[in-house]
Amino acid sequence: MVDVSVQPFEIELVTRTGITVRADVYLPAVKQGPYPVLLAASPYQKALRRLPAHWVFPFVEYGPMQMYLDEGYAYVIVDVPGSGRSEGIWDPVSRTEGEAIHDAIEYVAAQAWCDSNIGMIGQSYFSWSQWNAARTRPPHLKTIVPYDGSNDMYRDWLYHGGIPQHGLLGPWLLGSVMMQHQAEGHDVRGGQRHELLPNIMSNTLDNEWHRRRSPFWELDQVDIPVFSIGAWSKAGLHLRGNVMGFNRVRGPRQLLLIESYTFSDAQKTFDDEDFHRREILPWYDYHLKGRDTKVMERPAVRAFVNGAGEYRSSNRWPPPEMVPDTFYLSSQKAGVLRSLNDGSLARTPSDREADSTSWSYPDPEWMLGVTTIINGVPDHTARVITYTSAEFDEAREFTGHGVLILHGSSNQEDMDLIVKLQVLSPAKHGFTVRKVTQGWLRASHRAEDPDLTQDMLPFHTHAKADPLIPGKIYELRVELLPMSFLVNPGERLRLEISNFDSLIADAPMTHWYGQKVGTDTYHHDAAHPSRLVLPHCPG
């Protein structure tokens, strides 16, 4: 059980749409108010704040509440409409929900125990709520600190590259929301919570349904201070949102990308008092209490460099010194691992008139997604396409965005690309492997938005599906998620491509396989220079 020294009292307010929303208020034990307020909002039921921050309770994402109470902050937990003790319909991350949080902020600001300075706090959905409320611009919202939270519902996690994600959707919707409501005595159909899944499945393109639930599109109107914190281990769920949100807002801003290797790591860090005292409390103290904590003298961007064991600082993301570094796909054997093709990543483009790699699916040896079992041991790469570099002869850092430009064809009218980039480190028996970035694209969703696309960052519209002509070669640009990693001497890069995930190595961010049966071909000859372009940051 989580112990907080004070008991909350409940408040209720009526939103602009006539819905009654309820929240719990925790005030510091020392009665020296009024206080600045930290406000958290989610559908995870304020009644469950009693549970500890643990991976079996992934929705407990409040941070160290007692520490903030001891530091003279009031803490308010809001049940968003249609959840917990609040009335109405649950419409997750919608602008309507953001407006309800806006109304809660303004109601709290008028209370005698609030000094009218309000910041928002929390991880994951609590972080989405911060982006969501900020786009509605509540007058008394002075700052947000979105920790580990996306803001583009379609691209960040529901339809990666147009491919439906389902590995986390069920555990999140059924486990963290529906069944937890049932456990607290609520009707699972209350707030029309049961309508979310069919709505997601009915909206397979980035249409108005998704746009209303994606604060990203309005973040260019946000001018309050924003401290965006992303965790490398949450790359397939939230990291993109933290980076894209940082770049889109127009007020004072900082970006921190922390060392993190598992989903649980991110939750543990956010519950860690030392982390908050070092990183987040000084931000709140500066923006909500007016204390000169020197927090705005910190670099605008700090990113943990995986493989280097240290943080790099910069004045923007990606770092201004970044230069594109290109590796070309080749059918030449790398000779270092077992895969369907054991191809190479070359430093120069091919001069061959014909060079391609074809494979058929579903592979007869897949067992757990693309993972097969060889001599009782799971093998994640034996039945996928790979391209591996030579050993690096010097250390090389890659920080920023990257892109895979793949010339592909299929005997079908569509093809899915599920891409992973890994660093291979020599070990006593083979290699140790660390994944450093990944990307996805459904070929029929290849159209890009000319206003938002950059050379190293394709931004796909997902506005319509444009089927392939079987046998025709298409240039496909796959967005690779933000990255920061060091390749040390003796290490190699390995690019993996398939149309399915490993249900072991890629869980929980796995995708629906669907009904795919066919043969795809990746072309890498002189006329079709398929290539991996990475953001090199010279030392």
Asked whether 19 and 88 are in contact (CB, 8 A), the reply is yes
Query: Could you tell me whether strands 114-120 and 141-144 are parallel, antiparallel, or unpaired per DSSP bridges?
Result: parallel
Looking at domain 323-536, its CATH superfamily turns out to be Galactose-binding domain-like (2.60.120.260)
Tell me: pLDDT of 346 over 80.
Answer: yes
Tell me: pLDDT of 23 over 90.
Answer: yes
Whose tokens are 């339809």? That residue is 159
% of the chain beyond a pLDDT of 90? 96
Please report, in angstroms and rounded to a whole number, the separation of the first and last CA atoms in the chain: 48
What pLDDT was estimated at residue 429? 80
* Helix, coil or strand: residue 49: helix
- CATH fold group of domain 9-298: Rossmann fold (3.40.50)
Query: pLDDT-derived band of residue 344, with 50, 70 and 90 as boundaries?
Result: very high
Q: Is 430 left (phi over 0), alpha (psi -120 to 50) or beta?
A: left
What pLDDT was estimated at residue 3? 63
Asked whether 164 and 512 are in contact (CB, 8 A), the reply is yes
What pLDDT was estimated at residue 1? 39
CA torsion, ordered 498, 58, 312, 273, to nearest 10 deg? -170
Tell me: pLDDT of 362 over 90.
Answer: yes
User: In the structure encoding, which two tokens stand for residue 149, read together?
Assistant: 């939270």
Beta carbons within 10 angstroms of residue 376's beta carbon: 5
The helix-helix angle for 125-134 and 95-109 (nearest 10°) equals: 80
Residue 397: which of 300, 302, 488 has the closest Cα? 488
Tell me: pLDDT of 129 over 70.
Answer: yes
Tens-place pLDDT, residues 57-81? 999 999 999 999 999 999 999 999 9
- What is the residue-averaged pLDDT of the chain? 96
Average pLDDT over residues 26-46: 95
Tens-place pLDDT, residues 409-444? 999 999 999 999 999 999 888 889 999 999 999 999
* DSSP letter assigned to residue 173: I
Ordered by start, the domain boundaries in the chain are: 9-298, 323-536
Q: Which residues does residue 25 pair with via DSSP β-bridges, in sequence order?
A: 9, 76
Query: pLDDT-derived band of residue 5, with 50, 70 and 90 as boundaries?
Result: confident
What pLDDT was estimated at residue 2? 52
Average pLDDT over residues 210-231: 98
Asked whether 424 and 473 are in contact (CB, 8 A), the reply is no
Asked whether 69 and 37 are in contact (CB, 8 A), the reply is no
Tens-place pLDDT, residues 164-198? 999 999 999 999 999 999 999 999 899 999 999 99
Average pLDDT over residues 513-534: 98
